[in-house]
Structure 1
Amino acid sequence: MEEVEPIRVFLVSEFPIVACGLERIVEYRGPAMEWAGAVDGLTSALATLEGARADVVVVDVDGEQGLRAVEGVHAQGGPRILALTSSANFELHDAAVLAGACGVVRKTEPVAVLLKAIERIHLGEIWVDRMAAGRIFLELARKKKAELQPDPEAAKIALLTRKERLTVAEVSRDASASPRQIAERLHISEHTLRNHLTSIYAKLELGNRLELHSYAQRQGLAAK
């Protein structure tokens, strides 16, 4: 019979007691599982994961980094992720899956549940209940719909000419600058500046320079 490779389990947790406990659990499950190591933060995880050859990364989301650790490990690709938490908040559980985890296990659950979850997600399954799966599906559908809907502000901004965008950037640089100062910086006359601003206000549906300054800051049109 072909020898089955053990599931290599890696942990990201800020809590040493969690690392100690999970290591013992994994070793107890040997030879079906093998401890691949533990780190206390995302930066260390990203630097260590490739060499660890982990199959499943358990991410403790109860620390300060929380879901950011799940997102960071997921972005790197490779191992499948299992979120570990003491929280009963289903919104946190759903968010962990949406961030890239293949499942969530609470710290209050039996050790057998944790081991089974690791085995299942290693096989490519998702470790969530039916209600969670339904909520996550609806949230993904909502996000997809939002992505497909046109952005009305983007449509307005697309109407601006190159010179008008330069004008917006210069106006947003200093809200207290006089029209003469802005015109000099753009190397145009004050009359031309007024024409540009009239056109910009109409296209962006704004009323004055103060509104334009605020709008440019919100939409990333400000000078850098």
Structure 2
Amino acid sequence: MLVDEQPIVLWALEKLIDAEKPRMQVVGKADNSSDARRLARELQPDILLLDLSLGGGKGAELVPVVVKDGRTRVVIYTSQRDLGTIDRAVFNGARGLVHKEAAPQVLLNAIRKVHEGELWLDRRTTSRIFYEFARAGGRAPVDVALQKIESLTRKEHRIVAVFATMPGAQNKQIAEVLCVSEHTLRNHLTSIFGKLQIKHRFDLFTFAHSHRSRLNVSSVLPESSTLE
């Protein structure tokens, strides 16, 4: 689903995305916040592509409304350069960020990856979000976090430790560091998500970063054996 105030942008995005059928297609369009809320509720799209400039720069306020049921994931597609607005959108639940000057293929890749459950943010944005999250005290209680970490197997512990050192990395990069296949990594992540009671890769990056010292990252990563 597309949300942008400019008709020509909506038209161009629809042409670009529908050219990828049957892998992806546009199911709805909106040029204002009210219609966006209504259509998102009715259509429940997998991905909502949102311009932060909507409503005079209030697009970020739409994010939590759209993602609250967990069905729709938001990718920000914008020319907005206000870091505060971008960060607020990510804090509110946006899983991807693509600037409008990016190549069309970058946008398509972002949509695919976010649909697969991955995070699509540049390193600078990811680092800034982690810093603000930690400063705001967004950690789980010490005892609960420790219990979650202790529930991990040795292999799972190592994977989480790698996530702590590679914010924003894709599965392929992390699998290469661990010397495993992406399929094996995905299987481990399913178990990890359940034990840590999280739903998204961004949540795992946040948890790993917040509890980096408790994960004993430096002592875990030198291990040379693989996880296969």
Is the shorter-chain TM-score for this pair beyond 0.5, marking a shared fold? yes
Deviation of 1:146 (Å): 10
- Structure of larger gyration radius: 1
Q: 2:46 aligns with which of 46, 51, 55?
A: 55
Aligned to 2:115: 122
User: Does residue 31 in structure 1 map to residue 22 in structure 2?
Assistant: yes
Deviation of 1:76 (Å): 4.8
5+ residue gaps, structure 2: 142-228
8 Å Cα contact 1:84-1:107 kept in structure 2: yes
Aligned to 2:137: 144
Deviations 1:145-168 (A, max 9, x none): 6999xxxxxxxxxxxxxxxxxxxx
In structure 2, relative to structure 1, the CA distance for the partners of 1:42 and 1:147 (3 Å cut) is farther
Aligned to 1:84: 77
Aligned Cα root-mean-square deviation (Å): 2.2
Q: 2:7 aligns with which of 8, 16, 30?
A: 16
**Moved runs in structure 1, 4+ residues, more than 3 A?**
88-92, 145-148
In structure 2, relative to structure 1, the CA distance for the partners of 1:76 and 1:53 (3 Å cut) is closer
In structure 2, relative to structure 1, the CA distance for the partners of 1:145 and 1:82 (3 Å cut) is closer
Q: 2:31 aligns with which of 16, 40, 43?
A: 40
Deviations 1:7-30 (A, max 9, x none): xxx012222122111110111112
Q: 2:60 aligns with which of 63, 67, 71?
A: 67
Aligned to 2:193: none
Q: Percent identity?
A: 34
8 Å Cα contact 2:113-2:120 kept in structure 1: yes
In structure 2, relative to structure 1, the CA distance for the partners of 1:141 and 1:34 (3 Å cut) is same
5+ residue gaps, structure 1: 1-9, 149-224
Deviations 1:17-63 (A, max 9, x none): 22111110111112211111111223222222243241100111112
Alpha-carbon distance in 2 for matches of 1:44, 1:109: 27
Alpha-carbon distance in 2 for matches of 1:133, 1:47: 30
Give SS of 2:26's match: strand
Structure-2-length-normalised TM-score: 0.55
Give SS of 2:94's match: coil
8 Å Cα contact 2:44-2:71 kept in structure 1: no
Write 1 or 2 for the structure with the bigger share of strand: 1
Give SS of 1:82's match: strand
State the AA in 2 paired with 1:39: A
Deviation of 1:122 (Å): 0.4
Deviations 1:48-88 (A, max 9, x none): 22432411001111122321122322335421000111134
Give SS of 1:104's match: strand
In structure 2, relative to structure 1, the CA distance for the partners of 1:14 and 1:147 (3 Å cut) is farther
Alpha-carbon distance in 1 for matches of 2:30, 2:83: 26
Give SS of 1:109's match: coil
